[in-house]
Amino acid sequence: MKENLLARTPILRGLPPEEIESLERSLRVRELPPDTILFHEGEVGDRFFIVSEGRLEVIKALGTPEERLIGFRGPGEFIGELSLINRTGLRTASIRSAGPVRLWELSHAEFDALLHRQPSIAYEILEVLSERLTEAHDASIADLQEKNRQLEQAYNELKAAQAQIIEKERLEKELQVASAIQMSLLPQSLPILEGFDFGAAIMPARAVGGDFYDFFPLAEDRLGIVIGDVADKGVPSAIYMAQTLALLYAESYQHLSAREVLQRVNQLLQGIGESGLFVTALYGILDQRTGEFSYARAGHELPLLLEPSGQIEIMPYGAGQLLGVLENPLLDEQTVPLPPGSTLLLYTDGVLDCRDEQGNAFGMERLKATLSVLKSLPAQEICRQLWQRIKDHQRSAPQDDDVTIVSIHALSRDAA
């Protein structure tokens, strides 16, 4: 069996039978366990091997990031010939067993002697080396083609990513412009009405939002005040907010009651078309002569009255339904007297719903406790301090909703 395998080995197949028999007697047997390194690339070689059983792996750059398996050698194939032919004698690749392997081993001197006795072996070696070189050349070309394909794919992905970045930057700039436009729709200064002090603050959760507030001078002694919250956030709600605010502005100057203003706005919102959006709102008229705030509430948060003593009172309420949904929504009408030293707080649901990292909402009780501490501050400072307390509660948690606060402070007679 050994003789037959030797005779089929490409490098030895041209030898006469007596030479094969001589080699059979002189070849030494070497056995390798699985995953064993026979020799390393770069080592000086002095042995030639023929695979009897099993399979060997031929590896370049073993143990480096560039490691690559370039081929296998099975029964009847040989390895180690190049180090015996090269002047340097260095191994050109590393060899590792892929499972149990049995080898026949020939020393450098024995290999040289064989070449001298049988010069035709050199032609066999050249033929095998030529075949291996062709295989290596084809593999290199295939490898380069694959790398080129990967590079082309990476380049196309990079171009797509760059296009996305450019588009994102364009959208961010548009959102910045939209945010500036939206902020310009809100009051740029607080109103002046004898006997009263006003404050306001708005913090969108995104670049643009759906919350709004405004003040409408109706006459020398009356002031319209509105706060609202469009469902959802982002650009659609911002557009709906702008439409609602414009309608409120127009209707407030028709000398209508707070209820009539919201009814007219609801009708006009329904006439705009099916947007799928709706809005909560509280619109009221502050009468400087009587010190009363008469308002209509369409599904909005209930106002809080901070009395001079620091006590907090939630305003009485009735049914109040959203604008933009029903043809004739129920509206909650109330009138609140504002005695000197008191403050009325209007706010959107983003105040109560603001959550910390554990998901705990700011809530009504925390709002009331915070407001009672701020009773002696001016209206604008109350808004600023309240927003700071909300941020302190939120800490690193994301802001989920727009936050808007409006305060109306009735000045004491001394301050007035």
What HEC string does the chain produce? Answer: CHHHHHHHCCCCCCCCHHHHHHHHHHCEEEEECCCCEEECCCCECCEEEEEEECCEEEEECCCCCCCEEEEEECCCCEECHHHHHCCCCECCCEEEECCCEEEEEEEHHHHHHHHHHCCCHHHHHHHHHHHHHHHHHHHHHHHHHHHHHHHHHHHHHHHHHHHHHHHHHHHHHHHHHHHHHHHHHCCCCCCCECCEEEEEEEECCCCCCCEEEEEEEEECCEEEEEEEEECCCCHHHHHHHHHHHHHHHHHHCCCCCHHHHHHHHHHHHHHHCCCCCCEEEEEEEEECCCCEEEEEEEECCCCEEECCCCCEEECCCCCCCCECCCCCCCCEEEEEECCCCCEEEEECHHHHHCECCCCCECHHHHHHHHHHHCCCCCHHHHHHHHHHHHHHHHCCCCCCCCEEEEEEEECCCCCC
The predicted structure's pLDDT at residue 184: 66
In angstroms, the CA 297 to CA 38 distance is 88
Tokens of 54: 């099993």
What is the pLDDT, as a whole number, of residue 181? 61
75/102 Cα distance (integer angstroms):
9
CA angle 272–278–281, rounded 5-degree value: 110
For every one of its 416 residues, what pLDDT tens digit does the chain have, with 9 covering 90 and above? 555 677 777 777 778 888 888 887 878 889 999 999 999 988 888 888 888 889 999 998 999 988 888 888 888 888 887 766 666 778 888 999 999 999 988 888 888 888 888 887 777 777 777 777 777 777 778 878 888 888 888 888 888 888 787 777 776 675 565 556 666 667 888 999 999 999 999 988 876 778 899 999 998 789 999 999 998 777 778 888 888 988 998 898 887 899 999 999 999 988 776 567 889 999 999 999 999 999 999 999 999 999 988 899 999 899 999 998 888 999 999 999 999 999 999 999 999 999 999 999 999 999 999 998 888 889 999 999 999 999 999 998 988 888 999 999 999 866 55
pLDDT of residue 129: 73
Contacts (Cβ under 8 Å, ≥6 apart) of 341: 307, 308, 410, 411, 412
User: What pLDDT, on a 0 to 100 scale, did the predictor assign at position 109?
Assistant: 82
pTM recorded for the entire structure? 0.62
What was the pLDDT predicted at 171?
Answer: 67
Contacts of 191 (CB under 8 A, 6+ apart): 198, 215, 217, 223
Domains in the chain with CATH codes? 2-119 (2.60.120.10), 187-410 (3.60.40.10)
At residue 301, the pLDDT reads 94
